[in-house]
Amino acid sequence: MENASDNEVEFERIRRETKKSLPSLLFVFIIGNLMIQCFNLVYSNIGTSLHVSATAAALLSTLPGIILGIVCMLYETLCDFISPKKMVLWGVGVLIVSSVAGFFLSFNFWVVVVVRALQVAGAQVAGSVFLIMTVKFLNKKEKAIYLGVFNAAYYLSVALGVFAGGWIQDMPWKWLLLIPALAIFVFPILVKDTPNVSGKGEKVDSIGIIIFAGIATCLAVYFSYMQFWWLWIIFGVLVIGFSFNVAKNKRSFITPKFLKNGRYMILLALLCISFFFEFACTPIYQVIGDGVFQIPLQQVSWWLTGVNLVAMVVGIFSGPLVNKLGHYSVIVLSLIAELVGFGLSAAFIHSSFWFLSILNAITIAGFTAIYTPIYDAASAALPQEERGRAIGICDLIVNISPSIGIAVYSDLIENAALGRGTLFGIKGMTACQTANVFWIMFLVALASLVLVLIFSKPIKSVVKKSVSVDTDEDIAQ
């Protein structure tokens, strides 16, 4: 009894430290994400001022996405083995130093590229550690709330990036490099309060993690540029190597038992299908604004800012909603929201842009609300010591699946055959194309809902079988 009591006291101490450090981690995460939005707006200006080609300048926009696709999975996996405090101090330290160095060395384009890579990698440590500490060290109700807040923070940073677009383009761009250095003000809090805990004597499967990172890199690079076919050869070799590592390496970070966890795999499949067209929701409304309603891009951006603010509010309340209605109910309601948004957008493509923006907000609300219950359930499907890699693979899916989806969307929106006609007698090539793409999006969302209904029993059982407070048997200093 004494040992159990000691474990509970230790867990409660870690939980208190976690809750103290989470706001500071969220601040760093928002800054990092905001900078991605900002550099997406000004990279061409930077290329012009530093006399480099448009192709080279585009690296400032594409490279962060590739890095995020890799480091999210990598950091969250390492959280199962390495102390969150050590990772945060390293990541935020790199963020601050690279920001200051980049400001003073901004006269060289390739230095700016390296600095942006370091800034993205450093800032994402905060986001990854936030997620992992939430699913590992908070109780059941707190987990859902903080996962929702994290998702809301992402949409807040996107909305701020779009809102500040005009102002950002008018300011000297090198000052943007210095903004992430604001993390220095929360650095003392992170040093003091981030828990210093790590896996219970487990050794890091360096080979397996490197191979898996290579697989993620191949996917991220290919779907960012949609070329380099030879990457599939490397991808195949790495998959074979990873499979061999799982089968033969007793210390493999992904074990055969992990891969045979049916409940977790169902949730991964749901995540993959339901988020497939998430990245396409912004460009399709830009096409509609320009091609159907002849609305200036700046006005479209204002509407999209409002949509992202709605998503932020939904993210904030998604946690309490999960605690009130349950994971399964929120997943179903989220998919219904996606179906309503896609279906009505297709049917009423000629209505008005403000009405379509409301439907877009409903769709994005569905994407936002479904994030919390799936991530919470996915972490609950595995023991505490494996939750880092569980969330890491979820993040990999959330990055790769929509990247494939945006590539599919790009092919669909340029397909002249889709502009020849659609349901309800809609006229006009652009209107027909976008309406038909919406119907395809509708079918993908419907497939997600069918998957949920078929596997309702294992999905409902995931969270019920998890424990709300893990003992210190799974935590070692």
Of residues 88 and 388, the one with the higher pLDDT is 88
Instruction: State how far the Cα of 143 lies from the Cα of 149, in Å rounded to an integer.
Output: 10
In tens, the pLDDT along 130-174 reads 999 998 888 888 988 999 999 999 989 888 877 766 576 677 888
Instruction: State how far the Cα of 149 lies from the Cα of 320, in Å rounded to an integer.
Output: 10
What is residue 172's three-state secondary structure?
A: coil
Helices 59-78 and 84-104 meet at what angle, rounded to 10?
A: 160
Query: Do the Cβ atoms of 441 and 349 come closer than 8 Å?
Result: no
Helices (H) and strands (E) in the chain, counts: 19, 0
- Give residues with Cβ within 8 angstroms of 154, minimum separation 6: 33, 315
Lowest model confidence (mean pLDDT) among 104-118, 291-305, 327-341: 291-305
For 41, the token pair is 């707006």
- Residue 61, pLDDT > 60, answer yes
Query: Do the Cβ atoms of 221 and 66 come closer than 8 Å?
Result: yes
In tens, the pLDDT along 95-128 reads 999 999 999 998 999 999 999 999 999 999 999 9
Query: Do the Cβ atoms of 164 and 38 come closer than 8 Å?
Result: yes
The dihedral formed by the CA atoms of 373, 375, 381 and 382, expressed in degrees to the nearest 10: -160
pTM of the predicted structure, to 2 decimals: 0.83
Q: How far does CA 52 lie from the centroid of its chain? A: 31
Instruction: State how far the Cα of 47 lies from the Cα of 60, in Å rounded to an integer.
Output: 9
- Residue 2, pLDDT > 70, answer no
Query: If you ran DSSP here, which 8-state letter would residue 339 be given?
Result: H
Instruction: State how far the Cα of 464 lies from the Cα of 461, in Å rounded to an integer.
Output: 5
First to last CA, the chain: 21
- Give residues with Cβ within 8 angstroms of 124, minimum separation 6: 29, 32, 67, 68, 71, 72, 75, 91
What is residue 250's three-state secondary structure?
A: coil
Amino acid 52 reads V
Instruction: State how far the Cα of 276 lies from the Cα of 397, in Å rounded to an integer.
Output: 9
Query: Do the Cβ atoms of 173 and 46 come closer than 8 Å?
Result: yes
Question: Which residue shows structure tokens 């992990």?
Answer: 258
pLDDT band, very low/low/confident/very high, at 14 (cuts 50, 70, 90): confident
What is residue 198's three-state secondary structure?
A: strand
Query: If you ran DSSP here, which 8-state letter would residue 255 be given?
Result: -
Structural domains in the chain, CATH included, are 1-194 (1.20.1250.20), 205-252 (no CATH), 257-468 (1.20.1250.20)
Q: For the CA atoms of the chain, what is the radius of gyration? A: 22
In tens, the pLDDT along 73-104 reads 888 888 888 888 999 999 999 999 999 999 99
- Residue 265, pLDDT > 90, answer yes
The proportion of the chain whose per-residue pLDDT surpasses 70, expressed as a percent, equals 92
In tens, the pLDDT along 165-210 reads 657 667 788 888 999 999 999 999 999 989 887 655 567 778 888 8
What is residue 254's three-state secondary structure?
A: coil
Q: Which of 420, 16, 350, 67 is nearest to 193 (CA)?
A: 16
Instruction: State how far the Cα of 279 lies from the Cα of 220, in Å rounded to an integer.
Output: 14
Phi-psi region of 52 (alpha: psi -120 to 50; beta: other; left: phi over 0): beta
For 440, the token pair is 């395809």
Cα dihedral across residues 45, 48, 51, 57: positive or negative = positive
* Dmax (CA) of the chain: 75
- Mean pLDDT score of the chain, rounded to an integer? 85
- Residue 472, pLDDT > 70, answer no
pLDDT of residue 166: 58
What are the backbone angles phi and psi of residue 476, rounded to the nearest 5°? -135, 135
- Give residues with Cβ within 8 angstroms of 227, minimum separation 6: none
